[in-house]
Homo-oligomer: A and B are copies of this chain.
């Protein structure tokens, strides 16, 4: 049972005693208050926010979903909104400002500027980067020091920065010479070495870095690969702009997995969560693909039509059409899922296509024989206009051929799409299934005719 389910009603009941409620809320983590607030009515959520002390309120605001953030910021008065924004991390602040309409954002940004000069300007600069890039994820609050800083001075500086709470991470200290990144020192190393050294003597010069326009997936990949707690964002190779921290990256990885899953399921990725997505957007994002696939699949009717004579001649063939094309679809979607995912985590590259082809051919033959034998046995009993063994052979051989073809199409098509520079996840399971349906019917009728001619 979720916390929100348990506590939501109690909290609404406690509105009568605001002071006790404010005290009680101090005992909760901001993430948990945010969860409770998501489930409350709009009116209650705004009311609850007004009872939370400012700093805790900002932490809660950071954890809310975008629609709820917007609701809160536009419901409280503009000064309070600006005060909440001041307390937020700059990267979260920018994301929130980007969500707001122009007319809501401007007066709040002006109030923000009076509370903390430079903050509004910074928010406007950060807002330049799309939210799914390194620039969109980065914070500008990090510790940066000159190379000739002494280690003891650096520790003092870190201590001061931690005290004011003005930086998001103090575990990596970036060494910059006139705003150019020249090295990095971990807090771990800083407390380890002789305090009299200069940072230039103790810093690591090989700093893994990203450009602000780099995709968030790239950022996550590097952080995961090198087990970093933070990665600097630089322009023109060295110009220090900001830092992306690992906690944001965990969210990115989850978000990207969701996007990939949706693409592979044949849905244009959603911006918001399932329930927050409007019906019209939903119908559009699913309908676009569905209609496209449907139009492609109209071909199946044409293939059937061209083979009406065969079907009329041997009506038993018709019985196995759904079974046969489904085997192709299933085998093909297995292959595409495996390959798309293997490419996403870097295990397989488009240039490995020959190795993949050989493997899938082997697997396809093995699986095709297994399914083909079952199909043979089932069809055996249905022979009317042809002998049971003839029908069985036609169905069994078709299944073998279609399964082999599908594993190859299912694996090589995503690789080809990636090779073209497109996202292989768009070759979704429904897409592969549709391609394979058409191919499957063509193969079925061709193989059946060939074999039945021999048996008639």
A95-140: which residues lie under 8 A (CB-CB) from chain B?
A: none
Of B224, B275, B362, the contact of A254 (CB 8 Å cutoff) = B224
Which residues of B lie under 8 Å from residue A228 when comparing CB positions?
247
Stretch at the interface among A231-239, A426-434, A447-455: A426-434
A265 pairs with B312, CB closer than 8 A: no
Q: Is A74 an interface residue (CB 8 A)?
A: no
User: Closest CB of chain B to A1's CB: distance in Å?
Assistant: 10
B-facing mask of A287-302, CB < 8 A → 1, else 0?
A: 1011101110110110
Given the complex of chains A and B, what is the CA–CA distance between A339 and B347 in angstroms? 28
Measured between alpha carbons, how far is A300 from B155 in the docked complex, in Å?
72
Cross-chain contact A227 with B247 (CB below 8 angstroms) = yes
- A389 to nearest B CB, angstroms? 17
**CA of A315 to CA of B319, assembled, Å:** 13
Q: Is A187 located at the chain interface by the 8 A CB criterion? A: yes
Taking a contact as CB atoms under 8 Å apart, the answer to whether B378 and A275 are in contact is no
How many copies of this chain are found per oligomer? 2
CB-CB contacts below 8 Å: A355-411 with B: 355, 359, 362-363, 366-367, 370-371, 374-375, 378, 382
Stretch in A10-18, A75-83, A174-182, A328-336 touching the partner: A328-336
Q: With A and B bound together, what is the CA distance between A206 and B297 in angstroms?
A: 57
Task: Tell me the bound Cα distance from A307 to B135 in angstroms.
Answer: 61
Say yes or no: is A260 at the interface (Cβ < 8 Å to chain B).
yes
Q: Please measure, in the bound complex, the distance between the C-alpha atom of A349 and the C-alpha atom of B274, giving whole angstroms.
A: 11
A56 CB to nearest chain B CB (Å): 14
- Known contacts A322-B304, A322-B322; is-contact A345 B258 (Cβ 8 Å): yes
Cross-chain contact of A322 among B220, B254, B437 (Cβ < 8 A): B437
A188 to B167, CA, bound (A): 11
Do B290 and A371 have beta carbons less than 8 Å apart?
yes
State which residues 306-360 of A face B: CB under 8 Å.
308, 311-312, 315, 318-323, 325-327, 329-331, 333-334, 336-342, 344-345, 347-349, 352, 355, 359
Instruction: Tell whether, in the assembled complex, residue B363 and residue A286 are in contact, meaning their CB atoms are under 8 Å apart.
Output: yes
On whether the beta carbons of A162 and B338 are closer than 8 Å, the reply is no
Within 8 Å of chain B (Cβ to Cβ): is A29? yes
Determine if A71 is an interface residue (Cβ-Cβ < 8 Å): no
